[in-house]
Amino acid sequence: MIVIVDESILAHLESQNNDDALSFIEDLCRARKRGYSLIKVTKRVSLKLISHPDLSSHQKATFKHMSQESTFTKELSAITLNQVTFYSGKYTKTAFPNGLDIRNYDSDEILQEYLNRPKLVLENSTDSVIYKKIVEWYIERNYKVNSFHTSFEVLHGGGHTLANYCDKLLKDQKIVFAICDSDKKSPDCKKGGTVSDAEKVFKKHNMLRQLYKIDVHEIENLIPINIYLKTAKKEQLPALQFLSHATKEYPQCYLYYDFKCSFKVSQIWTEKQTTISMFWRPIFEYVNNIVIEDCIINKDKLYVIDKNKPTTHILLNKLSSISKHAFEKLDLEHVNNIELGGLEQTWSEIGEVLFNWFVALKPIRINNS
């Protein structure tokens, strides 16, 4: 989150009744030291604060550090998505977009919340491994300054319970964000119940911009295929090699593949066309007749037959058990070594959203001297 400090704060601090300004300054310095926010203070205001008699030596040292950071924080001038301006309405008449008046700061828990870590609600707590890696990759790719990072507290909202969980949070708090996958198995499928319910909740609270809907089936679709290939067992390889072949001609299909359950024959070859069959049947037919390890795609019936254990129900192997190992492998990979294999645009879009929501400067240690 980007926090801008208006010059009217300085005027409030220099007034006789400056308790609210002092409390704000204390929380602001704490937020900077802990790396919760990216704080923009002009050099003029910083210099005034450094010499102010009411500030502690530790606070003055913190503002001295922030004054040195002002040159490279200008690099983020275009980011406005998650930006607030703290000001004192007693000393300015300016109407700030997303402005927060520090008068009564001591008794206003909502104001104080803006200087703590934002909350990110995910369907599963382990999802944070992927999102942290995505935004780390995004920063590495787009920004030269290595002081940037993202700061947020991960909360586990559950799948079907995520909307209700967010609803309870948003009644008392404002700095709550959420990410949901679509549950779609093709681009034209209807989005799932979790994201639909979440949309209603965030819209009710006028916070729809704090919900991000990812147009992928599930979180597993964001893991690059080479990570899966490094962690797969022999019996899991056919499904992954099928995807390797399919994405060469249909790169979008990787985003909608059902890693947990695969597809039933009846979903792909149906008498009545569905959004799933219209999207996936040409893909299966494209990979038709390709030999994949111990499995082949039968030319007549067009479904995968395991030579040892034939089945007419499930196409390819289910990959539900591979996810845990893939998450762990991805977590250990340096971003420069990750081969995205067609996920570049999706990772970039998600990374931009997360960066805009949660950008901060890394924590610092302050020496009073």
The ranges assigned to domains in the chain are 2-113, 119-221+343-361, 225-322
Give 137-166 pLDDT, tens digit per residue. 999 998 876 788 999 999 999 888 999 999
Q: Which residues sit opposite 360 in a β-bridge?
A: 149
pLDDT of residue 110: 84
pLDDT of residue 315: 77
**Position 17 pLDDT exceeds 90:** no
pLDDT of residue 311: 40
Q: Cβ distance 288 to 299 under 8 Å? A: yes
Stretch 186-208: mean pLDDT: 96
Q: Which residues sit opposite 361 in a β-bridge?
A: 148
**Position 251 pLDDT exceeds 90:** yes
**Position 254 pLDDT exceeds 80:** yes
**Position 252 pLDDT exceeds 90:** yes
Stretch 62-75: mean pLDDT: 81
What average pLDDT is seen over the chain? 88
Give 293-321 pLDDT, tens digit per residue. 445 555 444 445 444 444 456 777 778 88
CATH number, span 119-221+343-361: 3.40.50
pLDDT of residue 79: 66
pLDDT of residue 308: 47
pLDDT of residue 158: 87
Q: Cβ distance 66 to 28 under 8 Å? A: no
Output 339 or 16, whichever has higher pLDDT. Answer: 339
Give 267-298 pLDDT, tens digit per residue. 888 878 999 999 999 998 888 755 544 455 55
Percent of the chain surpassing pLDDT 90: 67
* Residue 128 banded pLDDT, cuts 50, 70, 90: very high
